[in-house]
């Protein structure tokens, strides 16, 4: 029985280390996912309409929109101009803010754009 106890203890210790390692990796991924690196942006299209989206790198997305490689909506409404951006959001907060802006009437969107200009 004395010989079995160290083996059981050793196996349990290894299992605990594996669980702790998995737990630490999970926490690190959660922290990374929660990073505030997303931006909500609004563009004015060539026809005067407004387009709102989210991105990690707004300048790269504006370039893609300008080259006709962005969203389907902006492809036929070139050129586009960046009017508004709200930085420092998590992905979920950026999606929520994008939905809020898209639900606003145009007058309210224009008001927000004017307050930051």
Q: Could you give phi then psi for residue 52, rounded to 5 degrees?
A: -120, 135
Residue with more model confidence, 85 or 21: 85
Strands (E), the chain: 38-44, 50-55, 81-89
Nearest Cα neighbor of 53 from 91, 106, 107, 105 is: 91
Given a cut of 90, whether residue 94 has pLDDT beyond it is yes
Given a cut of 80, whether residue 70 has pLDDT beyond it is yes
Q: What is the pLDDT of residue 24?
A: 72
Tell me, yes or no, if the pTM score tops 0.85.
no
Confidence of residue 81 (pLDDT cuts 50, 70, 90): very high
What is the helix (H) or strand (E) element at residue 23, kind and residue range? helix 4-33
pLDDT, one tens digit per residue, over 23-51 is 677 777 766 665 678 999 999 999 999 99
Integer distance in angstroms from the first to the last C-alpha of the chain? 78
């Amino acid at each position: 029985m004395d010989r079995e106890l160290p083996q059981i203890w050793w196996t349990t210790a290894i299992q605990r280390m594996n669980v702790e390692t998995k737990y630490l990796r999970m926490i690190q991924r959660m922290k990374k996912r929660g990073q505030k690196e997303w931006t909500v942006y609004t563009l004015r299209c060539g026809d005067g309409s407004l387009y709102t989206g989210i991105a990690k790198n707004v300048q790269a997305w504006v370039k893609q929109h300008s080259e006709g490689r962005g969203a389907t909506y902006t492809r036929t409404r070139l050129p586009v101009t960046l009017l508004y951006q709200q930085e420092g959001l998590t992905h979920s907060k950026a999606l929520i803010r994008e939905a809020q802006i898209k639900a606003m009437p145009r007058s309210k969107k224009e008001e927000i754009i004017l307050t930051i200009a």
